[in-house]
Chain A
Amino acid sequence: MSDQPGTSKDKPSTSSAHQMPENAAPQQPPSAADAATRQADQIEILAREAEELRKKLDQERQKLNDIPIQQAAERLDPLPNLGIKQRRILKGHAGKVLCMDWSQDKRHIVSSSQDGKVIVWDAFTTNKEHALTMPTTWVMACAYSPSSQLIACGGLDNKCCVVPLSFEEDIIQKKRNVATHTSYMSCCMFLRSDNLLLTGSGDSTCAIWDVESGQMIQNFHGHTGDVFAIDMPKSDTGNTFISAGADKHSLVWDIRTGQCVQSFEGHEADINTVRFHPNGDAFATGSDDATCRLFDLRADRQVCVYEKESILFPVNGVDFSLSGRILFAGYGDYRVGVWDSLKCTRHSVLYGHENRISSLRTSPDGTAICSASWDCTIRIWA
């Protein structure tokens, strides 16, 4: 192992996962050579220890993998005919729609697009209630606050701003920046309060912000790639959320301490979307590897894979029906896949979109699903 100070290839030869910056100690004085060797040895020991721990962790998880969920679900009736159809089409964006979110009133929707527009819709009537122009293109994320009085949005500007919704005046004047990352902001949601905002970013961190003051309250370091998606359990007073992204891992975080408490692997490419099962103890993910997966928090492992040989396109949005029985997945091949989440089979496909689906959400009361697409439309299915 070459470990002379001053050589250009001064890297510990332990693991590619722990690469050093190129200028790692290039000009150490000779007296530091011993120390450098000791450090390199230490790194090797630590890497070996980490590898051992990973193996043991895998063994522990494997032990509890006793009955596949499909087998447990055998006694259930298959999904009935669902009669889910396209019911509304929301037209008004001039660019790719990148994100959407439901209001808790189960009726309004906020959406954001590549051309910098954010639109608030009445999904019952398809009317546009607000249309805002952001100072940036690629507004990658938008979210409704729990009270439905605020929306949050942002994207390539690395920021997340909040806008109060009212019909009184030009509401864009009341826009406030709340969050700032060091790379694009890819996902955001309010944390059970209009005053707490959770964001995820291309800078591979997540953070919680105080909406009023714009102060960062907690940040979350642990991902080794861009964060693309976050979610938290629906009806829970718990203190966790999950995040996922380009490092193919889903991480569970303790909100109070900022510590990662669980980590889930399985996907073979970027994870684009993550959504809790309504029971709060499991979650589904969708990935560039063309699969959705179900992970169980208490079993600490992947429970099943939703895949078909004929499906080759990325999954960009997933959500469950109210009971969790149906998993809806929005794909890059313009379709919505309807999966039996327990038998792990595809039930049917919803056709309509004319470009890739970017986002998919079930309404808060479970009466409809909404999909946003690069075809510039948003569609409601019920």
Chain B
Amino acid sequence: MSSRDQTIQAMRKQIDQLRNERNMKRMPISVTTAEILKYTQDNAREDVLLTGFPNDKMNPYRPKSSFQCNLI
């Protein structure tokens, strides 16, 4: 197969790809970001990098001598 045939084949494939992408179902940003927001809020309590540990002793990476108290 000549390199031109290969180019044509690659371009056809690309066009198929673009057609498929164009035809896919999309959701508005407002909807998808609302879901991201909801996910974040639903999981915020378990997110210790965000909220800190209820008790620093629970932090496996605490330095042994430190004392901290985070009330939530």
Known contacts A69-B29, A321-B47: does B36 contact A279 (CB below 8 Å)? yes
Give the tally of cross-chain contacts (CB within 8 A).
Answer: 186
Whether the pair A278, B39 counts as a contact (CB closer than 8 A) is: yes
Which of chain A's residues have a CB closer than 8 A to the CB of B3?
20-21, 24-25
For B5, give its contact among A39, A67, A326 (CB under 8 Å).
A39
- Chain B residues with Cβ under 8 A from A367's Cβ? 48-49, 59-61
| B7 beta carbon closer than 8 Å to chain A | yes
Return the 9 tightest CB-CB contacts between A and B, nearest first. Answer: A323-B43, A323-B47, A87-B61, A53-B18, A382-B61, A46-B11, A279-B39, A322-B47, A321-B49
CB contacts (< 8 Å) of A296 on chain B: these are: 29, 32-33, 36
Residues of A within 8 A of B21 (CB): 57, 261-263, 300
**B34: min CB distance to chain A, Å:** 6
Q: What separation, in Å, do the CA atoms of A63 and B61 have in the docked complex? A: 47
Q: A303-B32, A342-B36 are in contact. List 16 more A-B contacts (CB 8 A).
A: A18-B11, A39-B5, A43-B11, A64-B28, A67-B28, A69-B29, A88-B61, A260-B17, A277-B36, A296-B29, A325-B44, A342-B40, A368-B60, A382-B60, A382-B61, A382-B62
- The B interface is mostly helix, strand or loop, or mixed, namely helix
B35 to chain A, nearest CB (A): 7
B59 contacts A281, C-beta separation under 8 Å: no
Contact of A72 among B30, B42, B49 (CB under 8 A): B30
Q: Inside 8 A of B40's CB, which chain A residues have their CB?
A: 323-325, 341-342
Min distance, Cβ A125 to any Cβ of chain B, angstroms: 11
- B46:A323 contact, CB within 8 angstroms: yes
Q: How far is the CA of A46 from the CA of B70 in the complex (A)?
A: 63
Q: Which of B8, B19, B61 has the most CB of A within 10 A?
A: B61
For A88, the chain B residues whose CB sits under 8 A away are 61
A262-B24, A324-B40, A326-B50 known; A299-B29 Cβ under 8 A:
yes
